[in-house]
Structure 1
């Protein structure tokens, strides 16, 4: 019973902390989530590729998409003016 109660309290605190994120942080999280999903799809396609070269190309694309998403999200979080000109920050 005590473990269940403690887990419930922990889950509640985590959900409350998620509510306090800024719109900028939420946008950065969305960027990361979306690019991660695209990269995962590319990796799935790589697994189904018929040639080694095709598989390598798709895996490289997945890595590039993932890196771009992480960079964009970090720029969003830090409000780097050099990279955030298109989103108005």
Structure 2
């Protein structure tokens, strides 16, 4: 049986203030990048068959820092579109 590893993107300024970013591409904070980098040893001990990410910068950067350099952006993984309630 295979494993499924799910990684949430690191902190952004919006997530720290309780704002919903949805599809707005808010960058990771330094703490968010550090948290993502701290995950790198976990996938390093595995051989992923496939790696997918939301196509937003914060998610792709989290995957990269976590050592998932082969993560392919998948638009079907986009977060909710909050429309006028974004932010």
TM-score range, shorter chain: under 0.3
**Please, what TM-score do these two structures have when normalized by structure 1?**
0.25
Greater percentage in strand: 2
Greater RCO structure (CA 8 Å; 6+ sep)? 2
**Please, what TM-score do these two structures have when normalized by structure 2?**
0.25
